[in-house]
Every structure is written in C-alpha cells, then in structure tokens.
C-alpha cells in the first residue's frame, strides 16, 4: 500500500539527503509494512501523499517525529543546518511532542516512554537496513512511527490496552465518545478564571446539574470573569473579551459538554459584547455587561420560572395525580406553587439510576406537605395507572417539537400516551424559552451526551439484615470519588453498619466490566421524546403546542 508513495521520495532523497545512507534491503520492506499499526497507517495515508506531492525536491525532511529528530541529528553531525532546516527540525520536534502526548492520552501510561526509548532502540535494526536499501525510504514520515512502534517492548501492551478501550464504546454511539472528561484543573489555560475552574469541576461532578442551574452558574461565573477582566494594551474590549471568554468556554466544555441553555446564554452574552461601542470606557462597558448578565438571568430564568410555575399550577386541579420524572427544578416550583394555591393533589415521582435526581424532589415536596409517591422507572406502568397528568422538565426543546430531556423521559411520556385501556393522560412540559434550539432531533442517537460508564457500576447495595455470610449478596459500595451527587444524597439507603462492614466487601458484579470481554456499558444522559407525546409546552410567553417551538424560538432570539 505504501509502495507507490515510496517511489517519489526515494528518487528525491538520493539527491538531497546525503546524510542518510540510502540503503534498505528490499526484503525487509514487506515485514515492516505489515507491522504498521492502524493508527500509524492513518498517518501514513494523511502525510505520505502530501509529502510526496509537495516536497519532492526537499524529500529529506521528515515530518514524522522520530525520523525527523533522528535525521536532524544525523544531518547536524555531518554538516551545519541552514535556518530553513532548523525551522523544519523544530517543526518535526513539535510534531513528535504532539504525537507523544497523543499516545499518552490514547494508550495510557504504558506507552508513555514510547517515542523516546523507541527511537533509541530502533537505531540498531534500522541502520543496517538503510545501508542496503536503494533509497531513503526509512526517512519517509510514515515509516517513523513504525520504527517507534515496532521497537519498544511495552508497545504491544499499550496497543492491547487501547484495543480494549475501543471495545468498550458502544458502536452505535461511537461518535459521542469524545475526549475523556477533564478530571482536574491541571492543564487548564492560564487565562481560565478561578471561578470558571471551580464551576467546571462542579459541572463535571453534577454538583451543578440541570439545564437552568448550569446556565445560571455559567452566567454568574462569566460575570466574575468580566468583573476581573482588564483589556490588554493595543486591543479593545469588545474584540478581546470574546476571545478571552472563549478560553473559559472551551475549558467548561471539556469538563462536561455544554447544555443548550448554556449555549444560548453564551451566544446572547457574546452578542452583548459585540454590541459594545469600542470607544466606551472599560469600566462602563464592564458595568453594562454585568447588568446584562443579571437581567438575562432574571428575565430568562428566574422570573420566567415564576411565570411558568404560576401558569402550570393553574393546570393542576383538585384530585389530580401528577406524575413527574427525575428532578426538574421548574416542575418542583410548579408543584409547590399549586400546593401553595391550596390544590389537593398527589405526586408520583419516577426516578432512575444513576443520578437519582428525583430523590431531592421527593424530599422537598414531602417536606412541603405534599403527598408523594416515589418509584423507579421500572415501576412506571404501575405509577402511570392512576395518573391524571404528567409534568416534565426539559433540557431543550428542538425545532421539530421534540423534547430533549433526561434519559427515561420519553418512556414516561410514551407510557402516559399509550396507556392501555384508559384515557390518555396529558403530558405537559415546562420549559423556559432559553432552552429552545433551532436544532432538529430525529432520534436520541445523533445528538446526545455519554457520561462515564463507571457511574452505572457504583451503586449502594441493599442492606443485608439476615447476616448470611454470602459475599455475593452483600456488596458494599466501593468508595468511589466519582460517585454522582445524586447517589450520595440517597440518605434513604442506609450506610452499612459496623458489624456488616467487617465482612470483606465484594465489589459490584459490574466493577470489573472493563476487563470482561463482550461487555459494554452505556450511560446515556438524554433522550428525545416525540412531539406527538407532548400535549403542551408551558413557557414564560404562554402555552404552546410543540409545533410552535420554532416560531417562538425565532421570536425570542430576534427580540
């Protein structure tokens, strides 16, 4: 496959690169090609043709890391480098560094020493080859990673590990596995404000969770950013602040993908920044922006929530049984408002693993004096049996009227609409217009968010009362710092008492899922509920059918 590519540099290299002994036995070539790992083959494809096209005359420079440094060193030994060559060498070094970083990311610690040691060890076998080969084929960029790879002993382990990891992503959702979520603030740019750093980790750990809460928290953090911002010399605030903000935004999005509401808020803020006249004094401009942020939060979230809660509460009548899913803040506000209005109704909360957001809602409503029933999503058919209305929160509403919300919402809506042998139950969505998007969702596959699959593993085991010495039945929760907040707040699940804890806690059966063959865990965050399952969307602008979402979105963004 690399054969046709080889020919061009071979000819040119002979002219321009005397430093490299132009020799490689033809017999050696095929095995080395077989050695090409998949990823390197890709680089070969990318870089090989480009190089052969563009730089036939200067074929000696190697864009790939190891060969680049090596050839540079070799060249340096023979004759002084021209500035252009130095530049190229620097470039190659950079590429090497990048490749190394990439390997560290991809292959884990096993491959850490890869490039350096690999290049060193690669020398002896490579040199004789070059002596015999009828061209500088070894110089070719694509070959360099091959050398690195083939040599180091830990390499195979790294590859194995990598392969295993790839297996663990569910194929249909492969496009959603982006980079790993950031786990520390290390490596964040120096431009990132402390408030944003903290917020990023809070978002990651679901301390700040829920579309509205994330939006508000982001805006407040950005207010801090704006407050502490000083325009550098030689630029103007409207021009520079946007780029400064985008550093913060990039950091936030590496912690957890941004929500639709965050995106809308950021877009509004950027528009507000762009609207500022460059001649405005900095303090005045910053005041304007802070006021903008405050009024954005007030208008789009705080007051909007009140309006929605009031109008949604009017839809609740005496004797209703309200079913809701997970823990939406706006639904909570609605139910509390209705209770405050003196309505007599019951609430049935349906919750799901692994976030258990409904537990907080259940507690809050029960504390307020409401009649609350709590069940998990597998009890849906039972819970929906005597429901009269379904209230749902939203992560976003798409332009085709679909509701994009916590995974499981679609199931609840469908159960309500297709209830066997009963009148269908109205499904009401409470959603601020800031969560409307002009995107279209046809399913939950194309656009979604995948959370750490380990969240599914760590679950509190049921308390064992009988004390049977069965280690399989007793599974103490592994102490997992990554455990979501919802799980921790599960105060209802009692902590293991000292007597039982002296038994050896056996981990959850899923704990070793990464080492189990043919086992993949999928932890999706959202799903899309078809518009037919939604009867009504209550926004701060009024009640709408889901088909009116794009119109309202257009109007609310144009204003």
Partner 1 sequence: MATPTDSTAAAGAKPFDIVATYNELLRSDPDLTMPIAAIEALVLLLTHEPSSTISETLDLLAKSTAHLKKAIPNPIGLSAGTDLFQRYLITTLQRPGQLGPAGDFKAIRTHLLSNGRLFIRRAKESREKIVAFGRGFIRDGCTVLTNGGSRAVASLLQQAADEEGGPSAVRFKVIYVLSSISKDIEGPSGEPEGMETVRALRAKGVPVSTIPESAVAYALGKADMVIVGAEGVVENGGIVSRMGTYQIGLLAKAIGKPFYVVAESHKFVRLYPLGQYDLPIEQHVVDFKTEEDIAQKSKQQAVDSNADSPVELPLEDSVDFTPPHLISALITDSGVLTPSAVSEELIKIWF
Torsion of CA 447, 202, 410, 383, to 10 degrees: 170
* Nearest distance, CB of residue 543 and partner 1, angstroms: 4
List the structure tokens of 167: 């297996």
Cα–Cα dist 313/258, whole Å = 30
Q: Which of 244, 543, 553, 557 binds partner 1 (CB under 8 A)?
A: 543
Closest CA to 536 of 347, 316, 343: 316
By CB under 8 A, which span of 116-124, 251-259, 488-496, 534-542 interacts with partner 1? 534-542
344 forms part of the interface with partner 1 (CB under 8 A): no
- The first and second tokens of residue 43, run together, are 């680089």
- If binding is defined by CB under 8 A, does position 541 make contact with partner 1? yes
* Cβ closest to partner 1, residue 280 vs residue 400: 400
Interface pick for partner 1 out of 137, 237, 372, 428 (rule CB under 8 A): 428
Decide: helix, strand or coil at residue 416. Answer: helix
Q: Is 545 in the site for partner 1 (CB under 8 A)?
A: yes
Task: Decide if residue 544 touches partner 1 (CB under 8 A).
Answer: yes
What is the spatial distance between Cα 351 and Cα 361, in angstroms, rounded to a whole number? Answer: 10
Measured from the Cβ of residue 401, the count of other Cβ atoms closer than 10 Å reads 21
Regarding 419 and contact with partner 1 (CB under 8 A), the answer is no
Indicate whether 426 belongs to the interface with partner 1 (CB under 8 A): yes
Least distance to partner 1, CB of residue 296, Å? 19
Per CB under 8 A, which region of 140-148, 264-272, 339-347, 540-548 contacts partner 1? 540-548
Kindly tell me which of 372 and 428 has the beta carbon lying closer to partner 1: 428
Cβ-based nearer residue to partner 1, 10 or 398: 398
| Smallest gap from residue 401 Cβ to partner 1 (A) | 9
Locate 61 and state its tokens: 């420079």
DSSP codes of every residue in 420-487: TTSPPPPEEEE--GGGB-S---SSSSSS--B--THHHH--PPPPPSS----TTT--PPP--TT--HHH
| Nearest alpha carbon to residue 194 among 248, 232, 270 | 248
Smallest distance, Å, CB 210 to partner 1? Answer: 26
Shortest approach of partner 1 to residue 373 CB, angstroms?
A: 22
Residue 389 contacts partner 1 per CB under 8 A:
yes
412 binds partner 1 (CB under 8 A): no
Nearer residue to partner 1 within complex by CB, 41 or 440:
440
Q: How far apart are CA 231 and CA 194, in angstroms?
A: 18
Residue pair 212/261 in contact by the 8 Å Cβ criterion: yes
Residue 277 beta carbon to partner 1: minimum distance, rounded to whole angstroms: 25
Residue 36 and residue 460: Cα distance in Å, rounded?
46
- Name the minimum Å distance from CB 423 to partner 1: 8
Residues 149-188 that bind partner 1 (CB under 8 A): none
Site residues for partner 1 per CB under 8 A = 315, 389, 423, 426, 428, 535-536, 541-545, 547-548, 551-552, 555
């Amino acid at each position: 496959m690399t054969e046709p590519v080889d020919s061009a540099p071979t000819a040119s290299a002979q002219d321009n690169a005397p430093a490299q002994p132009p020799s490689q036995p033809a017999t050696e070539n095929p095995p080395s090609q077989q050695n090409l790992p998949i990823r390197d083959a890709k680089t070969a494809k990318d870089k090989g043709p480009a190089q052969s096209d563009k730089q036939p005359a200067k074929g000696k420079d190697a864009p790939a890391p190891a060969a680049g440094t090596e050839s540079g060193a070799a060249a340096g030994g023979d004759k002084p480098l021209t500035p252009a060559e130095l530049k190229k060498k620097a470039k190659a070094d950079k590429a090497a560094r990048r490749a190394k970083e990439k390997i560290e990311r991809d292959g884990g610690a096993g491959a850490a020493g890869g490039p350096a040691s690999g290049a060193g060890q690669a020398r002896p076998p490579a040199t004789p080859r070059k002596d015999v080969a009828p061209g500088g084929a070894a110089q070719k960029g694509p070959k360099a990673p091959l050398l690195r790879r083939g040599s180091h002993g830990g390499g195979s382990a790294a590859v194995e590990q990598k392969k295993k990891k790839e297996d663990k992503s569910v194929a249909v959702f492969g496009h959603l596995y982006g980079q790993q979520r950031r786990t520390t603030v290390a490596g964040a740019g120096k431009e990132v404000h402390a408030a944003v750093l903290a917020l990023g980790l809070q978002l990651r750990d679901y301390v700040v969770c829920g579309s509205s809460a994330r939006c508000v928290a982001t805006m407040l953090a950005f207010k801090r950013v704006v407050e502490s911002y000083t325009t550098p010399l030689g630029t103007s605030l409207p021009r520079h602040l946007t780029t400064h903000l985008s550093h913060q935004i990039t950091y936030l999005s590496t912690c957890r993908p941004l929500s639709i509401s965050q995106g809308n808020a950021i877009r509004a803020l950027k528009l507000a920044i762009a609207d500022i006249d460059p001649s405005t004094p900095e303090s005045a401009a910053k005041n304007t922006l802070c006021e903008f942020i405050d009024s954005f939060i007030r208008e789009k979230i705080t007051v909007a929530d009140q309006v929605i809660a009031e109008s949604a509460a009017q839809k609740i009548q005496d004797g209703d049984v309200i079913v809701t899913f997970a823990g939406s803040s706006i639904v909570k506000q609605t139910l509390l408002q209705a209770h405050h209005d003196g309505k007599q109704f019951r609430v049935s909360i349906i919750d799901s693993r692994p976030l258990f957001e409904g537990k907080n809602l259940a507690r809050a409503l029960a504390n307020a004096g409401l009649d609350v029933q709590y069940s998990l999503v597998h009890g849906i058919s039972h819970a929906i049996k005597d429901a009269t209305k379904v209230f749902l929160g939203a992560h976003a509403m798409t332009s085709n009227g679909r509701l994009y919300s916590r995974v499981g919402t679609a199931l609840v809506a469908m159960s309500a609409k297709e209830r066997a042998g009963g009148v269908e139950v109205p499904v009401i969505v409470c959603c601020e217009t800031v969560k409307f998007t002009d995107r279209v969702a046809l399913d939950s596959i194309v656009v979604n968010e995948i959370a750490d699959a380990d969240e599914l593993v760590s679950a509190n085991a049921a308390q064992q009362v009988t004390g049977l010495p069965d280690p399989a039945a007793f599974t103490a929760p592994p102490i997992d710092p990554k455990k979501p907040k919802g799980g921790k707040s599960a105060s209802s699940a009692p902590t293991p008492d000292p007597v039982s804890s002296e038994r050896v806690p056996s981990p959850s059966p899923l704990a070793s899922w990464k080492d189990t063959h043919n086992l993949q865990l999928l932890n999706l965050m959202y799903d899309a509920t078809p518009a037919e399952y939604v009867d009504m969307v209550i926004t701060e602008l009024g009640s709408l059918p889901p088909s009116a979402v794009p119109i309202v979105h257009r109007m609310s963004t144009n204003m």
